[in-house]
Every structure is written in structure tokens, then in C-alpha cells.
Chain A
């Protein structure tokens, strides 16, 4: 954790510095994250096409949502629960690692990632704990908008949230901005978009592939509440989620992360994949 950072709100005074979440919760999330990171890396070694870099960058966001925030997923109707859409579906190993921690996916099942009879390489709704099939970039936010509108019709939009996690490279897709405008126009406050801003896309650094512009201005100009956080800081992430709860508008959390977080050589390279020869470097 990089001490002393506050949530930066460009909206003026809505976001507060993260409330202290207490040593015990912070330690708990950190321990979960360490176990989940090992699972991701193990998956990346067993099957080297796994997107390890993007999974490691988004992991702390997922750990915060599932174990810090606590998604409410017990309602009977589909509009009486929180939803999570991993729009950057290639990072699904991070979701599997978290679902394994929750006991929804058996630990040994993780070893079968991308195998013919194993876990899918991108999120599939037939997998326990996965709400929506994704994998084609740019489509998650539109789906989130539809779910949020259904919540409005059923009168549950103030009680539940639709979290949708995007990558910064994914923002190249035009549909993201179609959906961003729709969500803002309809004022769908139950939508919380979280952008995993790790600075890389498949072919290289995002700014080398396609300029993303000023992300704060881009989202804010459409009518979103924008919160920026360190995407590896649980306290800041939780505080941002609380801001989203209180907002009357849809909120986007720009979570700045590091691709390959926790694997030094991968972090430095901006790379995505690892293989067996790297095994020694983290199994100690």
C-alpha cells in the first residue's frame, strides 16, 4: 500500500479520504489476495495461454468486491441481488481464484483451466458464481445497463448494484461509449463501472496502440461521477465503492493498477503470459 494517498475526486468534495478499514480486514484481504495470486500463477504455468498479467492487475479489485464489500447475492428475483460482470473477460483466472476462495469452485478444478472438460478460458454463465458470459470486449457495460434498468422497473435500484469491470485497452471499443452515454442519460445509478487501468493492451502500452484521452474528462463529460484510486489499495477501493453507493449518478472508478502485479519480472515487462521456466521465481 502506498501510504498517504487519498481518493482523488474531480467532482469536488464528494469523495472523502478512505476511512480506516482496520488492520484485521486489511490483513484478511491481503492474505486472500496472496492465495489468489498463487492460484492465478499456477493456472498460468499449467496453461501458458492464460492471461496472467491482466488477471494480476484486476485481482485486488475483485478481492475488494467479494471480501471487503461483500456482494449481496441472495435475493430470489434476479433484480434482488448484486451483479458482477467481468467485461475484460480474459482476466477470468482472477475471478476463478476468488470464487475458489469463496468455495464456489473446487481448488483442483482450477488446474483444468482451458482444458476440454475444464474451466472456460473466458467467463461463461454456466460456471457457478459467474453471472454473465463475456469474452468479446466492449459488451459488458451495455448488459449492465439493461440489468440496472430491470432493477429500476422492479424498484430495487437503490438497494443493489451492477458492477462491471472493464480494461483500459477495452475502452477502444466504441460500444463502451455508446453504453456509457446510455447509462448516464438514463441516470442508472446502480451501475458501477470499474476500469482496471493497467496501461497495457494486447499489442503493447495503451498509449502506443490508441490514445485514450483524459479518462476523467471522457467519462465526466457524459455525466458520470468519476473516482480515481490506486487499484491495489483496498482501503481506497472500498471508499470508492461507498462513494458509488451514495451517488445519485452512475459512478466509474478508475483504478490504476500494474499488469502482472506481484510478479516482479512480469510487472516490469508489461507482459501477459508466463510459463514453466518462471515457476522457480515465485514458488518459494
Chain B
């Protein structure tokens, strides 16, 4: 059982690199693992797997729909396929994911890289702001959004051991400051509290958690004690954990690198509406992105940097608690 931070992850700061290393670990430990990609082997770091296990790697070419079907066939025939492509372009195979994988509950893992705004330079055509919504409506699909490189590594390895069925891993590109405890265990399906607080709970996932944690320092200076929860598993959703947060704070904000419709905000609001209704606000992408030299420029444009998050939260608190 792989727990904690493996030595081979030392010095890895990019989340896609961590996933590439995790696939190497799986290749070493499980002969049934087969990795597929759609002409993005180097970008997704699956080229590392290809170099070490060439016979268990297939580059399907620029054809994501075919890659998804190929993965379904491998799974039907007893293999454990990982299909990697940019999140944006896996979406074009959504119906294949639905009908060829999810409906048969096949053990296919989708590695969706360059998600959210993380492919900053390529612009709106390459930035995925809808994928969580699309994937979490599928009946069997689990949706996992790791926070940082150590968590991404542990999530891939642990889920390989624990989950037989389809999983969508939403992975960014490079910007991903480490916010979790590298020595901690990864717990699939369990909300991770990164910071305790009683005035408001901020739920987020992925690289934006770094901005959220920074925002809580500004909030603290204003006398606001904010809890921060890492919703690394969007589905299955930790409804109990969310309810506990709602009971403790009475007010939630969801910060996400996604449109507000149907993503983390949708998941959290749907659950709390039934279990323990409290106000829930989205802080999310305002529109399609566009090209930028840095992902932080896009965060700034969409009011997702720490200072913007803090001031928006102060507004929300002002409406409800003061």
C-alpha cells in the first residue's frame, strides 16, 4: 500500500508530472495497467509510461472518441486502462464515455489534464470550464480533483487499489502549489479540512485552494474565521462532511475554476438543499477564458486571486452575518 509522499516525488512541483509518476508506479506494480493517449503523450507525461512500458501504451492519435471506446474494450477484456487527454477534448467524447464506459460501469480511468484555466496560453478553445458538470452527472463515474502534486500522486495510486469502476481525474497543468500535508493519507470520498473556522466555510478544489488559503489570512485580519475544505472527491460527494460544515458555519462559499453551473457549486448546493439548507455562493469563472501568459493573469481577470476572493467573501458575510 502506497501512502505518504514517495521519494520519487521529491522536487515535483507540477501536478501533471505527479500523475505521470503515479502511472509509472502503477505500471511497475500492476501488469494489467494499459495507458492510452490521444497525441498528447508528452503534454500529459504519459510519454514516461510509454518509454518504460512500450507494449502497454497506445497512442490512439487525435481521436478522443476512439480512445474512449478502445479503453472500454480493454476494460471489458480484463485490463485496467488509463486514458489521458486534455480535459477539454475528452469532453468531445462525452457520449462515448456515457454509452461505452459508464453504462457498463467499466473500470476505465480518465486522466483529464490541462483543466480549468491551466492551459493559459492556448486560450478558450483549450480551457475546460464545464467538465466537472458533464462528468458528475454520469451515473457511475467518480470525479476527483486533486489539490496538488502529492495529492494527485496519492489519489491515482490509492484509487487504483480501491475503486473498480470509471473515474474522472481532473488535473491541471503546472501551477499547483502544495496545500495538503504531503505525509497524510489520501481518503477517497472524504472532504479534507485544510483550515478550521466558524464564520464561513469555503469549499474549493485543485490549484485554487492556494488562493483560498491565502484569502483566509486577509479575512482573519478582518475578524472573519473561515474554514477551508478541499473537495478533492466531487463524486461520490461527502454529504455528511458538507452538512457538518453547514451546521458549524451557517454559510458556504464555493470557489472553483469552472463555470458556476453544475460544478462544485452545483454539487454542494444540491446536497445541502436536501440535508441542511444554508446560503451557498459561487465564486467561479465569469465567462470563457482567453490566452494569457500566466494562469494567474486569468485568475486575476476572473476575480479568483486571493484578494478578490477575500473581498467577495466579506460582501457575502456582510449580507448575512453583520
A contacts, CB < 8 Å to B: 77-79, 125, 131-136, 138-151, 153-154, 174-175, 178-179, 181-182, 185-186
8 Å CB contact of B95 from A136, A141, A151: A136
Bound complex: CA of A161 vs CA of B260, how far in Å?
47
Given contacts A136-B100, A143-B100, A186-B58, 5 further A-B contacts (CB under 8 A): A78-B78, A146-B76, A149-B58, A150-B73, A150-B77
In the complex, per-residue mask of B57-93: 1 if CB is within 8 Å of any chain A CB, else 0: 0101101011111111111111101000000000000
The number of residue pairs between A and B whose CB atoms lie closer than 8 Å in the complex comes to 105
Contact A181 B78 (CB under 8 A): no
Contact B79 A143 (CB under 8 A): no
Cβ contacts under 8 Å, B69 to chain A: 139-143, 145-146, 175, 179
Closest 3 A/B residue pairs (Cβ) = A146-B73, A142-B69, A150-B77
Instruction: Given A142-B66, A146-B81, A181-B61, answer yes or no on A78-B76 (Cβ-Cβ < 8 Å).
Output: yes
Bound complex: CA of A182 vs CA of B79, how far in Å?
18
Contact B104 A125 (CB under 8 A): yes
Chain B residue at smallest Cβ distance from A152: B55
In the complex, per-residue mask of B31-68: 1 if CB is within 8 Å of any chain A CB, else 0: 00010000000000000000000011010110101111
Instruction: Given A77-B78, A153-B79, A178-B65, answer yes or no on A144-B73 (Cβ-Cβ < 8 Å).
Output: yes
Contact B78 A146 (CB under 8 A): no
Bound complex: CA of A186 vs CA of B67, how far in Å?
13
How many residues in B have their beta carbons less than 8 Å from beta carbons of A? 29
Bound complex: CA of A150 vs CA of B99, how far in Å?
20
Contact A146 B99 (CB under 8 A): no
Bound complex: CA of A186 vs CA of B58, how far in Å?
9
Q: Does B187 contact A (CB under 8 A)?
A: no
11 contacts between A and B (CB under 8 A): A136-B95, A139-B100, A142-B65, A143-B69, A146-B70, A147-B77, A149-B70, A153-B56, A174-B65, A175-B65, A182-B66
Bound complex: CA of A139 vs CA of B101, how far in Å?
11
How far is the CB of A186 from the nearest CB of chain B, in Å? 7
Cβ contacts under 8 Å, A79 to chain B: 77-78
Q: Does B96 contact A (CB under 8 A)?
A: yes
The majority secondary structure among interface residues of chain A is helix
Chain B residue at smallest Cβ distance from A122: B99
How far is the CB of A71 from the nearest CB of chain B, in Å? 16
Contact B104 A146 (CB under 8 A): no
Contact B73 A147 (CB under 8 A): yes
Contact B96 A139 (CB under 8 A): yes
Q: Does B139 contact A (CB under 8 A)?
A: no
Q: Does B195 contact A (CB under 8 A)?
A: no
Which one of A141, A146, A147, A149 has the greatest number of beta carbons of chain B within 10 Å? A146
Chain B residue at smallest Cβ distance from A131: B76
Q: Does B275 contact A (CB under 8 A)?
A: no
Q: Does B103 contact A (CB under 8 A)?
A: yes
Which one of B55, B63, B70, B100 has the greatest number of beta carbons of chain A within 10 Å? B70
How far is the CB of B87 from the nearest CB of chain A, in Å? 20
How far is the CB of B174 from the nearest CB of chain A, in Å? 30
Contact B65 A150 (CB under 8 A): no
Chain A residue at smallest Cβ distance from B72: A143
8 Å CB contact of A182 from B55, B70, B75, B96: B70
How far is the CB of B91 from the nearest CB of chain A, in Å? 15
